Chains A and B, each alone.
Chain A
């Protein structure tokens, strides 16, 4: 069956899942953390019948200080760069134990969760291997807060151009990060997997439905989730959800899906807000001058246009 035709139970405002979260409250995330918000919504969408694997990072550290754990589902953390490989092992174990009758004959999604450093930098090889091996019940979620926040706001290959971090500081000879953000969804899609999607926690139903769709489709899925970090972005904690909205409405972070190589632009942004509305909330961009912002705007226009063209050239 085509990935686009695989049925799944869609969540609406009326059917929003009730009951306790799979990620319990009382965790140690920072005030206003957009990453833990996205994670909680994703897990809530899946219910309780799945296994989670975390990479080392903010979400692992803030949920699992021994002897406490926020996880109400089976959860495994091994190291930083290998969430995809660990999840591969869990997934294959479940498959074979099911085949041998040692587990109930039911699909168990295995969800690997990692940050942008654990995905785009140090974990890229393990992720590529797992996607290529085409695990049936494998979902990889990259919660992208655009730097190594857990270690103290160092740049990653997913840090956006112009952002000042502790290892790409703005200075008299630097505009901060001088490279463009690595396009992880495109890299994931290049593996020919059935499902790739981007999501942002401000569009929570879209986000939650995407992981449901990922779980319903047989084959590996990659979700790239925008995860605002007020601490690392030097932004007011109450702005996490608003920045998650502005990043989409400014066309910086388009919401789209790639189903068997066919593109769906989930949210067409016809009248984009100026990117300055998004950038000015965040201290990491404070040093940028109008000419820098012009360069970023041109890049945003081009990347958004690319997704529009792909959705027209390869429609579902």
Chain B
């Protein structure tokens, strides 16, 4: 019997996915707009639907600390946060990958203070982009649920054993009710093997985790983590393929939309990609050769896949949802420029920052961006779109 989509809020769908994965431990601290995820998880535990320990910690710093402890003890571990919460976790975020603790962290992306603002952009996750986590961005609710399940399988894979951040745009995705297929429990159980590892705190086989490294070993340990993170791309591709086999939905590291003959490509991450696609449809009707490339896998950065997706474009307009202060570039823009630098026939790269602190991202913004990108003026290659003068 085919499973039909139901109308459900995306946050609740993520929590349902955590339940379907038989998660052992959830340690979380409430912060808007992540709250519905952890509220629903605590309900599922309270109602006996999820046999897990729910640790109501006293801060996000302790949330991630507890998650590292729980994961190091061999438990399947989940938490969720946003914005200031992720910032408070920052110290722990850098430790989790090197200790090889495959925690799954849902980030309902929200702007960082100051000024305080509870609405959506990507400044929170960009503050930890170098930490060593696998990072994926969901475009819609179905993807948020599917990626939650896949994140456990990827992170806990014996060849990976790294934490994974699942990014869903705060409010614009987390709080929307969408038609979402909730997969059958048996299929999820068949898809997701138990979390098995020898590298854990076990009184029968004691190991030490978190040792001090001096100058003669620090570089090697950091490099070992980076090597694993880079190599995890193969496992991610493999898990996406397995997921398609089991559930029929296809996922790629980079997605393309109407790019075959596109001269100008809008490069996006997250839920604004749907708005971008609608704008592209309208511009196509008006005769513009435009398309969308969406990055689903942010870390490890999908270098080859992105190069292939941009190969035929004359111009790439990279959209960033975060401002890198002091540099005329956004974080994604920087990556794309570095990726294309020195490449033969490299397209022109324009970089636009928009949608900060919950500012609406409209179809007209993408049209403005396409119009601007036709300029040959390198001086205009970076712009914060829609700033009131």
Contact = CB atoms under 8 A, between A and B. Distances in A.
A93 B326 CA distance: 43
Contact of B206 (A66, A73, A94, A99): A73
A75 B209 contact: yes
A84 B212 CA distance: 20
Interface in B19-74: 24-25, 27, 51-53, 55-59, 61-62, 65-74
B286 interface: no
B55 A92 contact: yes
Contact of A64 (B52, B66, B68, B211): B211
B95 interface: yes
A75 B207 CA distance: 6
30 contacts: A53-B69, A54-B210, A65-B211, A65-B212, A67-B217, A73-B203, A74-B206, A74-B207, A75-B207, A75-B209, A76-B72, A76-B208, A77-B211, A78-B92, A78-B210, A79-B91, A82-B61, A82-B92, A84-B62, A85-B62, A86-B68, A86-B69, A90-B70, A90-B73, A92-B53, A92-B55, A93-B75, A126-B65, A129-B62, A133-B57
A74 B204 CA distance: 9
Contacts of A102: 74
Contacts of A88: 27, 55, 57, 62, 65-66, 69
Contacts of B92: 78-79, 82
Nearest to B216: A66
Contacts of B210: 54, 64, 75-78
Interface in B211-237: 211-214, 217, 221
Given A74-B206, A88-B69, A126-B58, 20 more contacts: A49-B203, A54-B210, A61-B212, A64-B210, A66-B211, A67-B211, A74-B207, A75-B206, A78-B68, A82-B65, A86-B68, A88-B27, A89-B55, A89-B66, A92-B53, A92-B66, A92-B75, A97-B73, A97-B74, A125-B59
A99 B201 contact: no
A89 B206 CA distance: 18
A14 B77 CA distance: 45
B201 A48 contact: no
A108 interface: yes
A48 B205 CA distance: 11
Contacts of B217: 66-67
B202 interface: yes
A79 B92 CA distance: 8
Nearest to B24: A96
Contacts of B56: 133
Contact of B95 (A64, A78, A85, A92): A78
Contact of A99 (B51, B66, B71, B213): B51
Interface of B: 24-25, 27, 51-53, 55-59, 61-62, 65-75, 77, 91-92, 95, 99, 200-203, 206-214, 217, 221
Contacts of A96: 24-25, 51-53, 75
Contacts of B95: 78-79
B57 A129 contact: yes
B61 A75 contact: no
Contacts of A92: 25, 27, 53, 55, 66, 70, 75
Contact of B69 (A67, A69, A71, A89): A89
Given A79-B92, A96-B75, A108-B203, A128 B208 contact: no
A125 B58 contact: yes
B62 A82 contact: yes
A213 B137 CA distance: 49
A132 interface: yes
Contacts of A77: 209-211
Contacts of A125: 58-59, 62
Contacts of A71: 206, 208
A95 interface: yes
A166 to B, nearest CB: 22
Given A61-B212, A76-B201, A90-B201, A126 B72 contact: no
A132 B207 CA distance: 29
Interface in A260-306: none
Contacts of B57: 85, 88, 129, 133
Contacts of B61: 81-82, 85, 126
Interface string A94-113: 11110110100000100000
Contacts of A93: 24-25, 53, 69-71, 73-75, 77
A286 B55 CA distance: 48
Contacts of A51: 73, 201, 203
B203 A74 contact: yes
A236 interface: no
A174 to B, nearest CB: 33
B214 A65 contact: yes
B58 A132 contact: yes
A126 to B, nearest CB: 5
Nearest to A94: B73
A81 B62 CA distance: 9
A76 B209 contact: yes
Contact of A75 (B27, B99, B208): B208
A129 to B, nearest CB: 3
Contacts of A73: 203, 206
A89 B212 contact: no
Contact of B211 (A69, A85, A95): A69
Given A48-B203, A74-B201, A90 B72 contact: yes
Interface string A131-172: 011000000000000000000000000000000000000000
Interface in A22-78: 48-51, 53-54, 60-61, 64-67, 69, 71-78
Enumerate the 6 nearest inter-chain pairs by beta-carbon distance, A residue then B residue, closest first: A89-B69, A129-B58, A89-B66, A77-B210, A93-B73, A93-B75
A95 B53 contact: yes
A142 B173 CA distance: 45
A80 to B, nearest CB: 9
Nearest to B69: A89
A87 B75 contact: no
A125 B65 CA distance: 13
A89 B70 contact: yes
Contacts of B51: 96, 99-100
Contacts of B67: 89
Nearest to A106: B203
A128 B55 CA distance: 14
A53 to B, nearest CB: 7
